[in-house]
């Protein structure tokens, strides 16, 4: 079973080209599942142990200390692994498909107000000779200005930048499915990228990563954890009204586009969502904001009210009294 797991993880990484972050998550979830089987059975796990009973026992062990989202992620990993075992002929059926996913709370990441986003990106200003400060400014512009996932941001290479007439388009390798999409970046974002590129050679040196766009201080590709920590620090430094990570900037990107009247289909394409329903959940607005947009956009929302018309029942009562 352990060998089958290693073969499956290698297939994820090299076969379907899942991101390193995804493979790490699958490894952690599946190794925990196999460790639980070994602890309960007192022997190494085998493919025959992929049963409803064992899966439910594992989820039951996780339940006290894990959120529903973690339980759902663990079940998804086991389902995918079970499907791999079935395809390889190691099990007859994938019993993980017989278990329902835990009910998920309907929560959304926080979206920062526009003024907080402006403060985060524009200040404190980077020093003229500080490559790390220019890099962080460019990353914030990409996360908010293009709505990228953090894995997509750190996965950008120099040859993913497409300059045409001073305008910049990013070729994004999607974190989910490894498909390509093209995302435009506004003039401010393009200027921030250009300013960073001027000092990038100081980070790369003579032995640094020659492909990666964003480098750490050792000249290697920047990791997603470093980006998260940078965004959190920026929130604190600029007094943002909520502490958000890179995903919060992506949510702010989508929310602010929707508030400005951008249609959902366009937002769906920019975010790289396969389903429009995902975009609809992602860009939920409160009723007050929806009303504001309606009053600004609907052709009849702000027309002056005409003379009040009596209701049919009131008219009939008036006629009846006059006749009597």
Each residue's pLDDT tens digit, 155-203:
999 999 999 877 899 998 865 555 788 899 988 999 999 999 999 999 9
pLDDT of residue 310: 54
Active-site residue identified among 176, 202, 220, 228? 176
Catalytic residue among 73, 134, 256, 273: 273
Indicate which residue of 11, 110, 228, 247 is catalytic.
247
Superfamily of domain 114-293 in the CATH hierarchy? Intergrase catalytic core (1.10.443.10)
At 173 the pLDDT is: 81
The answer to whether 195 and 181 are in contact (CB under 8 A) is: no
Q: Which ranges constitute the DSSP H helices of 42-107?
A: 52-62, 68-87
pTM of the model: 0.63
- Burial class, 190, CB count within 10 angstroms (exposed 0-12 / middle 13-18 / buried 19+): buried
Most confident by average pLDDT, 14-23, 219-228, 257-266, 293-302: 219-228
- The three-class DSSP label of residue 132 is helix
The residue ranges of every structural domain in the chain are 2-98, 114-293
Average pLDDT for residues 110-117, to the nearest whole number? 87
- CATH number of this structure's domain 2-98, picked from the four choices 3.40.30.10, 1.10.8.420, 1.10.10.1150, 1.10.150.130: 1.10.150.130
Q: pLDDT tens for residues 225-276?
A: 999 999 999 888 888 888 888 988 998 998 888 888 888 888 888 888 877 7
Across the chain, mean pLDDT equals: 83
Active site annotation includes 162: no
187 by Cβ neighbours in 10 Å (0-12 / 13-18 / 19+) ranks as exposed
* 84 included as an active-site residue: no
């Amino acid at each position: 079973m352990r060998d089958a797991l290693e073969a499956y993880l290698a297939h994820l990484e090299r076969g379907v080209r899942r991101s390193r972050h995804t493979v790490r998550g699958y490894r952690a979830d599946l190794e925990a599942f196999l460790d639980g089987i070994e602890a309960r059975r007192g022997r190494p796990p085998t493919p025959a142990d992929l049963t409803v009973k064992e899966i439910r026992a594992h989820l039951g062990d996780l339940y006290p200390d894990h959120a529903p989202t973690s339980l759902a992620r663990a079940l998804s990993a086991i389902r995918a692994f079970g499907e791999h075992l079935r395809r390889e002929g190691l099990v007859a059926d994938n019993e993980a498909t017989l278990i329902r996913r835990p009910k998920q709370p309907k929560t959304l990441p926080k979206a920062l107000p526009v003024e907080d986003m402006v403060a985060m990106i524009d200040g404190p200003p980077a020093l003229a000779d500080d490559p790390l400060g220019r890099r962080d400014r460019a990353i914030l512009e990409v996360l908010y200005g293009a709505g990228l996932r953090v894995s997509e941001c750190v996965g950008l290479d120099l040859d993913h930048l497409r300059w045409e007439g001073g305008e910049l388009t990013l070729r994004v390798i999607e974190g989910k499915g490894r498909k390509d999409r093209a995302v435009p970046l506004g003039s401010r974002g393009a200027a921030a990228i250009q300013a960073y590129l001027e000092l990038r050679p100081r980070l790369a040196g003579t032995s640094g990563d020659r492909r990666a766009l964003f480098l750490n201080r050792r000249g290697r590709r920047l990791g997603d954890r470093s980006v998260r920590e940078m965004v959190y620090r920026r929130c604190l430094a600029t007094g943002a009204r909520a502490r958000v990570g890179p995903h919060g900037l992506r949510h702010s990107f989508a929310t602010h586009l929707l508030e400005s009247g951008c249609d959902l289909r366009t937002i769906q394409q920019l975010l790289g969502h396969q389903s429009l329903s995902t975009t609809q959940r992602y860009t939920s607005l409160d009723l007050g904001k929806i009303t504001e947009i309606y009053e600004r956009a609907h052709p009849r929302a702000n027309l002056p009210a005409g003379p009040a018309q009596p209701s049919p029942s009131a008219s009939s009562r008036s006629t009846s009294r006059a006749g009597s």
